[in-house]
Amino acid sequence: MGNQPHINYLRIEKAIEYIIENYKAQPSLQDISQSVELSPAHFQRLFQSWAGVSPKQFVRYLSSSFAKSKLAEQNSLLDTALSTGLSGSSRLHDMFITIEGMTPGEYKSGGESLKINYEYSGSPFGKIIVASTGKGICHIAFNEDEKAALAELTAMFPKAKFSQQRDHLQDSAMAIFKKDWNQLDQIKLHLYGTPFQIKIWESLLKIPESALVTYKDVATVIGSSSSSRAVGTAIGKNPIAYLIPCHRVIQTSGQLGGYRWGLSRKSAIIGWEAAKKEGLDGS
C-alpha cells in the first residue's frame, strides 16, 4: 500500500471524528477542511480520492437515517442471505473465506506448538498487523503503533515462535483491499475460539458488503435470538479485522455501537463500503 494512503487515512479519520462530533450542525466543507488544517480544495481532492465520493455525500452515509434504511433493506435477506450466504465478486462469504478452528493441542500452553509469521502493512484504514500460521491467518488488527500491535499479538500466543516475514497467506488476505476481487485467491483463517464464537464469526462472513445488520439479527440467524448480549461479546472478540466484517453489525437504533479498533474507523469502513457499492451500482 505504501505510506501515502496511510498518511492520508490519518487525515480522513480526523475529519470523520469531526463530522461525528458535529453532525447535527451539518458542517460545511470549509468547517471540515479546517479541522484537518487543509484548504477546502485540497481536502476535497484528498477525500474524493480516498472515498470515491465527496465529503458531503459521505456525511450522508454516517447518518442514523442512512443506517436505518440499510437495516430495513436486510429484512428480506435475513432468511436467505444471512442464512445461506451470497456469492459474487463484491461480497465476503463463506465460500470465499474459510475458518478452521484451532485444536486444543495447538493452543495448549499458550500456543507453544505454533509458528507464527507476522508483518505490518498499510490499508485504506491505517496500519495493519497481519499474522499467519501454516494453516491460515490467525490475527489481523489495525494499530498505528507497531510495538503495541506486536505486544497484543504475542499476548494472544505467549509461547508461540514468531518471525517477522511476509508469506502468501498474508498476501492473499491483504489483497482484499483491492477494488477488483475477481482475481483473489481463497483466504484461509486459522482461529482460536469457542465453538460459539467461531459460529458467530462464520455468520458474519455472510453479511453482504455495504449491508448493515443488528446484533439481534445475528443472534436470530444462528438460532439464538435471546442471546444478543453473548453475540455482542463474541463479535467484540473478533481477532480478524475487516475480513470478518464485525463492522457491519450495529445497534437496532441505527447507532453504530462499539468497535474493537475505534468508532471512527468503523464509521470510515462503513462509509467507504457504501460509497464503493453506490459506485458499482452507478448511482
Catalytic residue among 92, 131, 246, 256: 246
Judging by beta carbons within 10 Å of its beta carbon (0-12, 13-18, 19+), is residue 203 exposed, middle or buried?
buried
Can 246 be counted among the known catalytic residues? yes
Kindly state the cell numbers that stand for 51.
Answer: 472515498
Helix H, strand E, coil C: the string for the chain is: CCHHHHHHHHHHHHHHHHHHHHHHHCCCHHHHHHHCCCCHHHHHHHHHHHHCCCHHHHHHHCCHHHHHHHHHHHHHCCCCHHHHCCCCCCCCCCCCEEEEECCHHHHHHHHCCCEEEEEEECCCCCCEEEEECCCCEEEEEECCCHHHHHHHHHHHCCCCEEEECCCHHHHHHHHHHCCCCCCCCCEEEEECCCHHHHHHHHHHCCCCCCCCEEHHHHHHHCCCCCCHHHHHHHHHCCCECCCCCHHHEECCCCCCCCCCCCHHHHHHHHHHHHHHHHHHHCC
**Which are the catalytic amino acids?**
246
